[in-house]
Chains A and B, each alone.
Chain A
Amino acid sequence: MTGDPADDAAGAVPDGGTVAGETAGGSGGSALAGLRERDDFVVIGMAAALVAFPFLLIDVLGGVGDAVGLSVGGYSGLPSLVLIYGIVVIGFNLLLGYTGLLSFGHAAFFGSAAYAAGLFSQVVPSPILMVVVGTLVATLLAWPIGFVSIRRSGVYFAVLTLTFGQALYFWALGPGSWLTDGDDGFSGIEADGLFLGALPLDAEPIPMLDSYTVMYAFTAVVMLVGVWAANRIVNSPYGLILEALGENEERVEFVGLNVFRYKLMAFMISAVFAGVGGAMFVIHEQYIHPTTGLYWIQSGDFVIMTVLGGTGSLVGPVLGALVFEYVANVVSGVSLPVVGSIGSLWRFVLGAVFVFIVWVFPRGIYGAFADLARYATGGGGGSGGEEPAAADGGERE
């Protein structure tokens, strides 16, 4: 894949997915113009999707729901929540899909950023600075955790990250509860508005369109920055190197690259994204609890979202976050005629969706769209773009 715009266009999808951003393929020569084009294309494409998103999720689906008599519409906090998790999993996929490292402890960075941001807000009630502080704390935490965990690989790495995450969870719940309010949850968050409170987060700037809040706009902007950054990373030497690490780590060492440091960088970069997500989460929810922020199940949810969305692309995981949060928060409230309220069966629904996707479309939801798009445009050449190796399952011959 050498950045042919026609190929990219064929892969554009409705909600939050544009094709660009697949692995570097930075060929010499032609590339500079092509890549810059792609950068803009990615951001603009994403921005367009983000503008349409709340309308589709809340108003359109709500309308469909009213017509059909099932409550399938989203509620006003949902779009922001999807984007917040989207930010986390874009970064997480740099670690999983590209570098091939499966961490079961990323909640540690999500949660620590959330708590740090929340505590900071009591000193300086600025959402933007909260994101900075939260992310900083997550990054500082990622250095030692990564340093120790990366010395091992595969299952051992996963278990180490899990252990660190759980240690932090139990600390927050018990001994650290003087700081975190433990099981009562931390709610003393003092951040109502951007720019020194001038722009309240729950304001709705567009009359008649109450699905669009300042909070959503803020989240969307942060998301765009995240996507831009991730795209740059993927188009940088790191894109090449991380993908190579996921394919053949030994060779990477033997071409003269310091594998350990690159893995650690991948780990820390993914922690930065998780940290941004965590800080945004606490700004959005105005509340954080150890189970939400630090428990291993949250880490596991990140994995599920990423794999569900597709580890083979930059923004695929966001689709996974969308489906996950939709099933968890909307489908769980649906009442079907015979079955009754879905309620706790939402996990079953999610499981079924997951099994179906992974079985039929091993490259995840995004991969499914890409395949369909290629099929519709008459089967484009080759393998339609390189697939980052790990966690992929079905693609190798």
Chain B
Amino acid sequence: MAEDTSVLSRRDVLKTSGAAGAAGLAGLAGCTGGGGGDSEYSSLGNYPVEGDEVVFGFNVPQSGSYSQEGADELRGYNLAVDHLNNGGGWVDDWSDLSGDGVLGKTVASVDGDTATDPDQARQSAQRMINRDDAIMISGGSSTSVAIAVQELCQEERVQFQCCITHGNGTTASECVRYSTREMFNAYMTGAALAPVLEEEYGSDLNFYQLYADYSWGQSQQRSMNQFLTEGPGWTQVESVGTPLGTSDYSSYLSDVPRDEADVLILNHYGLDAANSLPQAIEAGLDQDMEIVVPLYNRLMAEAASDSIGDIFGTADWSWQLENGPTQTFVEAYREEHDRAPSYAARIAYTQTLQYAAAAERAETFYPPEVIRQLEGHEFDNAGLDAETMRECDHQAQRDVLVMRGLPPEEQTEDRLLEVLNQTSRDDAGYACDAGPAADCQLGDYGDE
């Protein structure tokens, strides 16, 4: 996948030449005795970390259509940094974390704007890595951004903790060693939804799909097709692509064969779904068939709140879950911000803490060792009961929530959906040689 950087990377020269004054060949070869306790490893990426602070880089959409989500991610990140430095929230419950910084250093952060544009995201990540010496980058609301940035991080030997990315690619053909994804993917959505839809609607039905014609939409509709034809034995009438960013779906919706299709699946995300769903209802399609929106997000739910009643979809997490970690997080967040957190904030919070905990377990910031601690890690303290950060593809094996939209009269400001089912990871997951994982070839650690 990604290229190996040459042995003499730019930060090698900076770090070692700054360290002990004698920037001789021995120093340049990488093994020095400079700064910090954990210097038994050679320089790699932004390791070793000099000084009293360690820098995390938060690369979120601050402009563009997902800026709301980005803002919530940033709230999650800032809460994590606060708790890491001062205690509180999950830091008090996770045995690996001290509440007094990480490995004796205070956590500082810099942030950047991805603008939901892969190039922009890479530029700001580049800046945070090169100039601000970030040891870990996290954030993002789209798969294309995640893939672009994790590519860069693999090259630069800086850890990337995925935030919101649902497309399969991130832990399939585009997977990299220097990244982990805790959020679920399109494949798992299909696996989780199919049984629920069968139970609610029946077997041997016909379904029609619309999907946003870019890689996320394409993989999402493929996944729905696969699981609906396998399990419930449904038949796909047709699957039609709509250009990304379409606001008027009337021509596509009028093509839906009302007498033939029993279920309409809208593989649209965010803004697209905020348009397609209400338009579908306005066209009266909900009278003739069931409508499914496989991936819910807050933006869409709020924008289309009148239309989501009884619409099924999947989601990463909900503040309504009753487990301990969820409630702890929700409480801490409410104290700061007077409202319930979205799943964007939870993922951000989780991924930051996971990184810190892995570094503590590794007793170093040296990236390959931190990665080895992340891989295979089993935990149940992130709000979704038992999870495993699987080694073969860095995709968390975890439960998936199937949500049902509430009719407008039952909605409150924070509660637009209800949790219908928490599909266990065994049912939603897949083996290392199956599904998306079959295409994944993680790159190297960098210390071979």
Query: Mask for B228-249, Cβ within 8 A of A = 1, else 0?
Result: 0000000000000101100000
Say yes or no: A203 contacts B63, CB within 8 Å. no
Whether, in the assembled complex, A76 has its beta carbon less than 8 Å from a beta carbon of chain B, the answer is yes
Whether, in the assembled complex, B23 has its beta carbon less than 8 Å from a beta carbon of chain A, the answer is yes
Whether, in the assembled complex, B206 has its beta carbon less than 8 Å from a beta carbon of chain A, the answer is no
> How far, in angstroms, from A173 to B214 measured CA to CA in the complex?
6
Query: Given A182-B215, A184-B215, A333-B128, are A204 and B8 also a contact pair (CB < 8 Å)?
Result: yes
Query: Given A177-B215, A183-B143, A333-B124, are A344 and B174 also a contact pair (CB < 8 Å)?
Result: no
Say yes or no: B112 contacts A333, CB within 8 Å. yes
Whether, in the assembled complex, A330 has its beta carbon less than 8 Å from a beta carbon of chain B, the answer is yes
Say yes or no: A185 contacts B144, CB within 8 Å. yes
Say yes or no: B127 contacts A329, CB within 8 Å. yes
Chain B's closest residue to A291 (CB) is B117
> How far, in angstroms, from A184 to B219 measured CA to CA in the complex?
11
Q: How many residues of B contact A (CB 8 A)?
A: 54
Partner of B155, one of A78, A203, A286: A286
Partner of A287, one of B13, B148, B173: B148
Q: Which of B1-52 contact A (CB under 8 A)?
A: 1-3, 5-6, 8-10, 13-14, 17, 23
Q: Quote the shortest CB–CB distance from A377 to chain B (angstroms).
A: 38
> How far, in angstroms, from A62 to B133 measured CA to CA in the complex?
13
Say yes or no: A185 contacts B118, CB within 8 Å. yes
> How far, in angstroms, from A351 to B309 measured CA to CA in the complex?
42
Q: Which of A240-297 contact B (CB under 8 A)?
A: 285-287, 289, 291-292
User: Which of A89-97, A147-155, A205-213, A310-318 sits within the interface?
Assistant: A205-213
Say yes or no: B126 contacts A77, CB within 8 Å. yes
Interface centre among A73, A207, A289, A330 (most CB of B within 10 A): A289
Q: Quote the shortest CB–CB distance from A282 to chain B (angstroms).
A: 11
Say yes or no: A192 contacts B131, CB within 8 Å. no
> How far, in angstroms, from A341 to B13 measured CA to CA in the complex?
30
Q: Quote the shortest CB–CB distance from A33 to chain B (angstroms).
A: 45
- Can you spell out 5 A-B residue pairs with CB atoms less than 8 angstroms apart? A75-B127, A182-B215, A287-B119, A289-B144, A341-B111
Known: A77-B126, A184-B144, A287-B122. 17 other contacts (CB 8 A): A74-B131, A75-B129, A77-B123, A174-B243, A177-B215, A183-B216, A184-B173, A185-B144, A187-B1, A187-B2, A203-B6, A203-B8, A204-B13, A287-B118, A287-B119, A343-B63, A344-B115
B residues in contact (CB < 8 Å) with A: 1-3, 5-6, 8-10, 13-14, 17, 23, 62-64, 67, 110-113, 115, 117-120, 122-124, 126-132, 143-144, 147-148, 151-152, 155, 167, 169, 173-174, 213-216, 218, 241, 243-244
A residues in contact (CB < 8 Å) with B: 62, 71, 73-78, 81, 170, 173-174, 177, 181-185, 187-188, 190, 192, 200, 202-204, 207-208, 210, 213, 285-287, 289, 291-292, 328-330, 332-333, 341, 343-344, 346-347
